[in-house]
Amino acid sequence: MRARTLWLLSLVSTGAVVGAAVLVAPDRSGGPTVAPAAASSSATSPTTRAVAVLEAWDRRRAAAWVRDDRVALRALYVRPSSAGRRDAAMLAAYHRRGLRVTTMQRQVLALRLRTSAPRELSFWVTDRLAVARVSGPRGSIVLPRSRPATHRIVLRRGPTGWQVVEVYDD
């Protein structure tokens, strides 16, 4: 019983240390990386603003996918964004195969701000596809979660809201 208790305490303390390291970790320039859970404690910071902008943008993108709305999807990207072309091509491919996304949710795991201006944001984000469901001729399926991936994203505020200029894989 004693070994089991020590093992459990070790597991809990390791989880706490790793969790704290994930929530606030230094970036290359010494600034903080903020995970969404930590963002609420500093409601006015530029990083918190970037997290909020990205999460709102992700909700708009998911809504366009769920509605199978290519016009709304294209409006989320500055032309000629290659990320926008890829996203529209994927939606069209799903449509051609008779598939429809019914649920799509991305999970932001960490965000490290690069630049913050009133009309432009640039940051590195680590995220993943957390929940996705697709319906089609053979019924409904739940897609597997994706592995976390880090990208550099540049967003610009336009007349219709925030648009992705480009997404760069790191």
Place of tokens 């290659």: 82
Write the single-letter amino acid at 14.
T
Which ranges constitute the DSSP H helices of the chain?
2-23, 36-39, 46-67, 70-74, 82-96
The β-bridge partners of 136 are 139
Write the single-letter amino acid at 62.
A
Q: With 60 as the cut, is the pLDDT of residue 32 above it?
A: no
Q: How far apart are CA 85 and CA 127, in angstroms?
A: 20
Share of the chain above pLDDT 90, in %: 70
Which one, of 95, 96, 68, 72, lies nearest residue 84 by Cα? 72
- The fold for domain 31-169 equals Nuclear Transport Factor 2; Chain: A, (3.10.450)
Which one, of 87, 33, 29, lies nearest residue 58 by Cα? 87
- pLDDT at position 160 is 85
Rounded (10°) angle between helices 46-67 and 82-96: 30
pTM over the 0.75 mark: no
Domain segments of the chain as ranges:
31-169
The sign of the torsion formed by the CA atoms of 113, 118, 120, 125 equals positive
- pLDDT at position 18 is 26
CB 54 within 8 A of CB 108: yes
Q: With 50 as the cut, is the pLDDT of residue 26 above it?
A: no
Q: 170 falls in which pLDDT band (50, 70, 90)?
A: low
Compute the chain's Rg from CA coordinates: 19
Q: How far apart are CA 133 and CA 140, in angstroms?
A: 7
- pLDDT at position 111 is 97
pLDDT, greater one: 169 or 40: 169
